[in-house]
Amino acid sequence: MPNERRSDVARLQDNRKRPFRVDTMLVKSIGFLDNFNGDFTVSDGGSHVNVPAGTAVLRIATEAGMFEIHPNASGEMALVSMRIDACDAIEARNLVQNATAPVLDHISFMGGTPIITGLTRIYDDTNQASTLDLIAPEQAVTLNPGNGTLFADLAPIYALYREFKNTVSPFYRLLCAYKILEGIYGVLRKSARKRATEKGIRLIIPKEVVPDHPDIAKDLRHLVGKPIKTVCDNVLQKRYRDAAAHFLVQETQVLRVSSAEERAKFADMAFLCDLCAQIVIHNHEAALRHLK
């Protein structure tokens, strides 16, 4: 930037209200990205919705402002663009998503077809800085060459965990995680203890607490060190599972699954639940191994 004297860090930490342009690419299938291009254009996007022949752009007015839907060369809705004033990239993304999502939701209903959002680019006009918003791919793992034991009792739990990892929906992830913890604490642990009593075995299960991790959201860090069972019953079930499973969160409050804030909130809790589920599953495997 000509005549710019601020450091890159100062530009990135700018919290003044200023203009942003937010571009979201539409895609035809849900998936994790192995690679991505931050300079995507309308040609990179696509959807199952075709615009009327000859349409160059769809302009839609909302209370937050006007946004545009651009078709690709095949006439498919491919790119959603909007300008918005915000104090940072996250606020800009949230404002645009909350403004555009209800329209995309309605088009999805009218067409009876999915409308899937992919990579989002948030461009800061003032600081000439781009921020990319995407679902990060999972890290590669290497299988242990040693023998493994598949416990039949845990087959439904393994299936739920795989379902949890395969989906990109934070709400469905949360429900899968809850069912894992509910299944072990509510059914499988009781069964294991009963079998241990019948065999005259003393079943010792380590204390299970929420582990620490640098990526746990700041709003959830107060749960670190607390019993997982307590968090499952008093936090996960009441504040998240019930909200995801029922239309009304409270008597008059509805969970809006297109809300950027709600999606972030559930994604943060789903990450914490993943850490907890792994602990509880591994401990139950150890208990079953002791019963053999």
pLDDT digits (tens, 9 = 90+) for 227-238: 999 999 999 988
- 221: helix, strand or coil: helix
State the pLDDT at residue 34.
66
Band (pLDDT 50/70/90 cuts) for residue 291 is confident
pLDDT digits (tens, 9 = 90+) for 52-87: 999 999 999 999 999 999 999 999 999 999 999 999
Please check the confidence at residue 45 and state whether its pLDDT lies above 90: yes
Which residues, 6 or more positions from 46, have their beta carbon under 8 angstroms from its beta carbon? 26, 27, 28, 72, 74, 76, 78
pLDDT digits (tens, 9 = 90+) for 141-178: 888 777 778 899 999 999 999 999 999 899 999 999 99
Please check the confidence at residue 36 and state whether its pLDDT lies above 90: no
Distance CA 62, CA 59 (A): 10
pLDDT digits (tens, 9 = 90+) for 264-277: 999 999 999 999 99
Contact 179, 160 (CB under 8 A): yes
Please check the confidence at residue 188 and state whether its pLDDT lies above 90: yes
The per-residue pLDDT of the chain, averaged, comes to 91
Rg of the chain over CA atoms, in angstroms? 23
Band (pLDDT 50/70/90 cuts) for residue 279 is very high
Structure tokens at 56: 């160059």
Please check the confidence at residue 120 and state whether its pLDDT lies above 60: yes
State the pLDDT at residue 209.
97
Structure tokens at 154: 């845990």
- 242: helix, strand or coil: helix
Band (pLDDT 50/70/90 cuts) for residue 245 is confident
CB atoms within 10 A of CB 207: 7
The dihedral of CA 32, 37, 38, 40: what is its sign? negative
Structure tokens at 221: 């860090």
Q: Tokens 């800085």 appear where?
A: 129
State the pLDDT at residue 249.
65
In Å, how far are 29, 54, 109, 136 from 133, measured between CA atoms?
A: 17, 31, 25, 9
Contact 11, 127 (CB under 8 A): yes
Please check the confidence at residue 1 and state whether its pLDDT lies above 60: no
The torsion region of residue 55 among left (phi > 0), alpha (psi -120 to 50) and beta comes to beta
Nearest to 42 by CA among 31, 27, 60: 27
pTM over 0.95, yes/no:
no
State the pLDDT at residue 4.
65
Distance CA 92, CA 50 (A): 28
Cα first-last separation, the chain: 68
